[in-house]
Chain A
Amino acid sequence: MRLTLRVWRQKNADAPGTMATYEVDGISPDMSFLEMLDTLNEELILRGEEPVAFDHDCREGICGACSLVINGDAHGPERTTTCQLHMRSFRDGDTIDVEPWRAAAFPVVKDLVVDRSSFDRIIQAGGYVSAPTGSAPEAHATPVPKADADRAFEHAECIGCGACVAACPNGSAMLFTSAKVNHLNVLPQGAPERESRVLDMVAQMDAEGFGGCTLTGECATACPKGIPLPSISAMNREWLRATRRRVV
């Protein structure tokens, strides 16, 4: 496959960026999108040019490190992570636009790499349980109804990649935060911090400069892990409940 790539190049956080055009040839349809970028980078290094910086780690679709907006879609045209996207999803001769996540709370570090530590600070604000960990507890000591366990697992699937923020026209982190809040709030282990968790995490989310939710649904469409849109309503329900309890 022969492709034309238009890639966002930006030297550092303060430098102005621009879209640079590159031609790549000899791309196999079985390559992953990141392998295609590796091929480009090898050529750039041979030419003595600066390779394109992009985030990646496990390349198995479970770590949440990769983060590219491909032709306007977070993680590209397939509903998966960029590392699990294959070149067979494109056609020979295509022009592909590659951009970083765009959000005030995700500043560009270099090229396609953004700083997602705002997500870490949201987690630090309440995305944990204070129950003692250590050796595995006796399984029957804390019964969890099957439906609750399923709900918790569904939300625990969030890998914190930030595609929801990148896809949202408002740069809102509601889907991410709701996944983390719901994951712990439905479980008995998360019950002691049920109120403070949602209030603190939402407050931190707002403080980080993420936008407000207008329920466009773009986040849930882009999410590689299928966190459903109604999770946002579930978090709002938790937030209203916690606010009521704090006031009364």
Chain B
Amino acid sequence: MAVSGLILLAYLVAHVMGNLKVFFGPDEFNAYGHWLRTMGAPVLHHGWALWIVRVGLLAAVIAHGVSAYQLSRLDRRARPTRYVHKRRRASYATRTMRWGGVIIALFVVWHLLDLTTLTVNGNAQPGHPYENVVATFSTWYGNVIYLVAMLAVGLHVRHGFWSAAQTLGVGSARRDRALKAAATTLALVLTAGFVAVPVAVMTGVVS
């Protein structure tokens, strides 16, 4: 859970940095998209590096999902009879880890269909990611799906990063405040960075 989560988190950091290139215009953004395919050349063939990353990510997603399922099953079995007197427990980010994770997984499917396979994209021009991104965020549903998912990502990272540190034995009373601050900062920076792109398209900064 912790290790696969941290792998995915590291990918998100790289992802948001790539996304922000959209603010430097179509040429730079599209060139960046092209570089992702020529990465590792001439050692690697065209697109191989990207596929290696994709396989690694898929393995991390599967490991994360399977361990989440196993943990949830274990937890439900450990409390067969629920309390009659219900009380709201833990923080919002903590309580929404399971369903938030499901929402993020569904979003990833939509996101791949939209901007990787271009199946549901309004522009659907291979090799022109900038124009495709603008097309996505020119639709109301594209914006809604994306914004909801990014809020879910922020909440997930907020509890997930700190929890991963505890699982890996890094947590301590002295480091607790620093770890929580790091988790909140990561969550805010990622969410703000991802949300900046649809907001820029909506406000006409990127077109």
Residues of A near any B CB (own CB < 8 A):
6, 8, 19, 69, 71-73, 97, 99, 102-105, 167, 169-172, 209-212, 214-218, 228-230, 232-234, 236-241
Complex: A170 Cα to B97 Cα, angstroms: 13
* Chain A CB within 8 A of B74 CB: yes
Partner among A8, A212, A218 whose Cβ is within 8 Å of the Cβ of B75? A212
Question: Which 8 A-B residue pairings sit nearest by Cβ, starting from the closest?
Answer: A237-B169, A211-B78, A233-B171, A171-B78, A72-B87, A170-B75, A97-B85, A216-B90
Complex: A240 Cα to B170 Cα, angstroms: 11
Complex: A216 Cα to B160 Cα, angstroms: 11
What residue of chain B has the Cβ atom nearest to residue A173's Cβ? B78
- Size category of the B interface is 20 to 34
* Chain A CB within 8 A of B52 CB: no
21 contacts between A and B (CB under 8 A): A69-B85, A71-B85, A72-B86, A99-B83, A99-B84, A99-B85, A102-B79, A102-B82, A104-B79, A170-B75, A211-B77, A214-B94, A216-B89, A217-B90, A232-B166, A232-B171, A233-B171, A234-B171, A236-B168, A237-B169, A239-B169
Complex: A105 Cα to B159 Cα, angstroms: 27
Most buried by A among B81, B162, B165, B170: B81
B89 to A234, Cβ gap below 8 A? no
A233 to B78, Cβ gap below 8 A? no
What residue of chain B has the Cβ atom nearest to residue A235's Cβ? B169
What residue of chain A has the Cβ atom nearest to residue B172's Cβ? A230
A214 to B169, Cβ gap below 8 A? no
A240 to B77, Cβ gap below 8 A? no
A181 to chain B, nearest CB (A): 12
Complex: A237 Cα to B165 Cα, angstroms: 10
B138 to chain A, nearest CB (A): 39
- Measured between beta carbons, the chain A residues less than 8 angstroms from B79 are 102-104, 169-171, 211
Complex: A99 Cα to B84 Cα, angstroms: 8
A104 to B78, Cβ gap below 8 A? yes
A165 to chain B, nearest CB (A): 8
* Chain A CB within 8 A of B27 CB: no
Complex: A233 Cα to B180 Cα, angstroms: 14
Complex: A145 Cα to B157 Cα, angstroms: 38
B187 to chain A, nearest CB (A): 15
Complex: A225 Cα to B169 Cα, angstroms: 23
Complex: A117 Cα to B132 Cα, angstroms: 62
Complex: A216 Cα to B75 Cα, angstroms: 12
A240 to B169, Cβ gap below 8 A? yes
Q: Given contacts A169-B90, A233-B166, A236-B167, is CB(A103)–CB(B172) below 8 Å?
A: no
A211 to B75, Cβ gap below 8 A? yes
Q: Given contacts A170-B75, A214-B163, A233-B169, is CB(A73)–CB(B87) below 8 Å?
A: yes
Complex: A170 Cα to B74 Cα, angstroms: 8
* Chain A CB within 8 A of B173 CB: yes
- Measured between beta carbons, the chain A residues less than 8 angstroms from B97 are 214
* Chain A CB within 8 A of B204 CB: no
- Measured between beta carbons, the chain B residues less than 8 angstroms from A172 are 75, 78
A234 to B94, Cβ gap below 8 A? no
- Measured between beta carbons, the chain B residues less than 8 angstroms from A170 are 74-75, 78-79
Most buried by A among B76, B89, B176: B89
